[in-house]
A and B are shown apart, each in its own frame.
Chain A
Amino acid sequence: MKKIALMAGIAAFLMFAGCSKQPNLENAQQQQTQQTEEVATTTPTENETVNTENAQVEEQNLEATTVTISKTQNNQQFAKKLASIVVYFDFDKYNIRPDQWPKVEKLAELIKSNPSNYTVRIEGNCDEWGTEEYNYALGLKRANSVKNALIKLGVDPKKLTVISYGELNPVCTAHAKWCWRLNRRDNFTYLP
């Protein structure tokens, strides 16, 4: 009986703690509450022994799990926001076009708004025109252009790293100008 009461207490605590601290994680908390409730109702009543040490450990574990999920979800959301920004370039060019500047500014604000410990990998990409090393260097210069712009906009350089995929990461494989335009781009990837 004591065990049931303890488990119910833990469930209530989790519900309360979860609701007050993590307003963005409604689904995850609901699942946890339901699981805890299920455990409470299916525990055999004849087993009267209670190990409080274990209970305490269990409570700590659940709490820790809640925090991890929250952190992971925040990171995932941040990674999604980063991935949604794509900066496009002209053929054989690596300077940032005027129409692409608002995206770079948005990117700078996004990175500055998240002070935790992570790296943003700026990935330079090219169209299919050219397999030479030059194409990889062009991709790298595209990545560097945005990196330098972000630093000027106040982003911590330690948070940024660059890589070039040349023509090896196409988002479009049609043999047409509109498709090549989509492949001449910088992507932004979250690295924990």
Chain B
Amino acid sequence: MKRLIVTIIIFFSFLFSKEYVITKYIEDKPIINVTFKGPDQVKKIVDMDFKVLDHFEINESAKYSFDFNYDKVTKTLKVIYKKDNQPFLIKKYRSRSYAYFPFLIHRAVYDINEYFQLPSAKFLIRKVIYSLLTAPKEASIYLSDYTLSYKKRIISGGLNIFPKWADKKQTKIYFTKYERTPVLYEYNLLTGKKKKILKSVGILIVSDVKDDKILLTMAPEGQPDVYLMDFNNKTIKRITKYPGIDVNGKFWEDKIVFVSDRYGQPYVFEKDLKSGVLRRVLHHGKNQVGVDAYNKNLVISTRETANAFKPNTFNLFLINSQDDSLKRLTMKGQNSYPNFSVDGSSVMFIKREHFSSKIGIIRLGENKVFYYPLSKMLQSFDW
């Protein structure tokens, strides 16, 4: 019955929608004025933050004003909060290097958003970690802000892929390094220490992290399956046992979702960890190759055409399990690797264009998408 409902919804959504339709949740945006003194490079980030956030209406005659002052010598950002032109709060943000200024701006804009008690804007202050292909079999891992303006290479030499944040504070990452076999490492960004976790034949990827548990895709016997690793009791449990492809496990409430080719083509399935019941999640598209989960929502990358090489090859869809709704998030191109932000307000994804890439950010509540281009091929990211 549920399948039928989803199919009908999909049918009607294609009949009537040319764009994705998401209700805006901020009806009356606060009207504020923003002024800036400092380098143009810094101003660009201020403008970008307010544009991407889209929680405010900017107007010069607004009651509230926020004066941004950035001093390149002291590497300090000062934000003066004013009401009716009277300062009532001053916030200062300082960094050791000039290059770090995007994070100061993001933090300042985040604080203004918090001051007005608006929906979460945590995506602004999250650090992004990504792997970039620099040559065949050569990929380095970089640290960045969400606009990819700040860039610091933290892991290099050989093939370093699938970086994943290991903790909520973003101090440690997991990543896979290709040695004689793939090896999983934990790297501490504060101390620079690298710790070997485990190795596996063929493939070894951290797909999802939840507290002290991680979902892995690995193939100790050469067979790719989803595994659950619990750091508390130091156990590894095999979750899927189909002799085809099972990958990309994500925690989803009491279940996990993953991609499997058990029906001949890759589709997204959910598995109840207690009962073991397995169910296909979405009946749409020629196949479904990627998935991410947040609360009741799933975002799935789907190949929509039988011709693999048509322009609208991979698109992203948002599913809400509560009301069984389905929303199209992208229209054309090769869109993949969708990843919810920590607050669920945005989806970050990779848009491939030949052998270069863009990181795309879909602001779900604001009905907008922003792109940040990279000259090389982006392998994967986490934020």
- Contact among B139, B261, B289, B309 for A130, CB-based, below 8 A: B289
Residue picked from A129, A130, A139, A165, most chain B C-beta under 10 Å: A130
Contact of A140 among B202, B314, B336, B350 (CB under 8 A): B202
Known: A134-B290, A136-B224, A168-B161. 17 other contacts (CB 8 A): A92-B265, A128-B377, A129-B308, A130-B314, A131-B380, A132-B336, A133-B248, A133-B259, A134-B259, A137-B245, A140-B224, A141-B245, A143-B202, A168-B133, A168-B136, A177-B309, A191-B180
A159-192, CB < 8 A from B: 161-165, 167-171, 173, 175, 177, 180, 191
Asked if B201 and A161 sit within 8 Å, CB to CB, the answer is yes
What are some 19 contacts across the A-B interface (CB < 8 A)?
Answer: A128-B355, A129-B334, A131-B350, A131-B352, A133-B248, A134-B247, A134-B259, A134-B289, A136-B217, A136-B247, A137-B245, A139-B203, A141-B245, A144-B202, A165-B159, A168-B133, A170-B355, A171-B136, A173-B355
A91 touches B308 (CB 8 A): yes
| Contact in complex: A133, B202 (CB < 8 Å) | no
Give the 4 A-B residue pairs with the shortest CB-CB distance, closest first: A132-B290, A137-B224, A133-B247, A137-B245
Decide if B352 touches A138 in the complex (CB within 8 Å): no
CB interface residues, B 200-222, toward A, < 8 Å: 201-203, 205, 207, 217, 219, 222
Name the residue on A nearest B219 (C-beta): A140
Whether A170 lies near B245 (C-beta < 8 A) is: no
Instruction: Return the CB mask of B118-162 against A: 1 if under 8 Å, else 0.
Output: 000000000000000100110100000000000000000001011
Q: Which of B213-250 contact A (CB under 8 A)?
A: 217, 219, 222-224, 244-248
B202 nearest CB across to chain A (Å): 5
B102 in contact (CB, < 8 A): no
Please judge, given known A-B contacts A140-B222, A163-B181, A191-B180, whether A133 and B205 are in contact too, CB under 8 Å.
yes
Q: Once the chains are docked, how many angstroms separate the CA of A173 from the CA of B244?
A: 29
| A144 partner residues in chain B, CB cutoff 8 A | 202, 222-223
Say if the beta carbon of B313 comes within 8 Å of chain A. Answer: yes
B378 at the interface (CB under 8 A from A): yes
Residues of B contacting A139 with CB < 8 Å? 203
In whole Å, how far is A175's beta carbon from the nearest beta carbon of chain B? 4
Task: Evaluate contact between A163 and B161: CB separation under 8 angstroms.
Answer: no
Contact call A131/B379, Cβ cutoff below 8 A? yes
Task: Give me the interface of B with A, judged by CB distance under 8 Å.
Answer: 133, 136-137, 139, 159, 161-162, 178, 180-182, 201-203, 205, 207, 217, 219, 222-224, 244-248, 259, 261, 265-266, 287, 289-290, 301, 308-309, 313-314, 334, 336-337, 350, 352, 354-355, 377-380
Chain B residues contacting A128 (CB-CB under 8 Å) are 352, 354-355, 377
* Bound form: Cα–Cα A163–B203 in Å: 6
Q: Which residues in B have their C-beta under 8 angstroms from that of A177? A: 309
A161 to B161, CA, bound (A): 20
Set of chain A residues within 8 Å of B378, measured between Cβ atoms: 131
* CA A164 to CA B334, docked complex, whole Å: 22
**Nearest CB of chain B from residue A132's CB, rounded to whole Å:** 4
A134 with B354, Cβ < 8 A, contacts A141-B224, A162-B222, A168-B133 known: no
Contact B336 A130 (CB under 8 A): yes
**B244 and chain A: residue at smallest CB distance:** A141
Alpha-carbon separation in the docked complex, A161 to B202 (Å): 8
Q: Which residue of chain A lies nearest to B291 when distances are taken between CB atoms in the complex? A: A132
- Report which of B182, B244, B337 forms a contact with A163, defined as CB distance below 8 A: B182
The complex places the Cα of A151 from the Cα of B336 at a distance, in Å, of 36
Whether the Cβ atoms of B354 and A175 lie closer than 8 Å is yes
Q: Which partner residue on chain A sits nearest B139 by CB separation? A: A168
**Minimum Cβ distance to chain B for residue A143 (Å):** 7
Cα–Cα, bound, A132→B352 (Å)? 12
Collect the chain A residues with CB atoms within 8 Å of residue B224's CB: 136-137, 140-141
Known A131-B380, A134-B245; judge A140-B290 contact (CB<8 A): no
Report how far A138 CA is from B178 CA in the complex, Å: 17
* Cα–Cα distance between A167 and B181 once the two chains are bound (Å): 17
* Proximity bits, A105-144, B CB within 8 Å = 1, else 0: 0000000000000000000000011111111111111011
- Chain A residues with CB below 8 A from B162, complex form: 133
The reply to whether B178 and A163 contact each other, CB–CB distance below 8 Å, is: yes
Residues of A within 8 A of B355 (CB): 128, 170, 173, 175
* A162 and B204 alpha carbons, distance in the complex (Å): 12
Which of A137, A147, A173 is packed against the most chain B CB atoms within 10 Å? Answer: A137
Which residues of chain A are within 8 angstroms of B205 by Cβ–Cβ distance? 133, 136
- A132-B337 in contact given A138-B245, A140-B203, A168-B137 (Cβ < 8 Å): yes
Complex Cα distance, B222 from A134, in Å, reads: 15
- Closest B residue to A177 by CB, please name it: B309
B245: chain A residues at CB < 8 Å are: 134, 137-138, 141
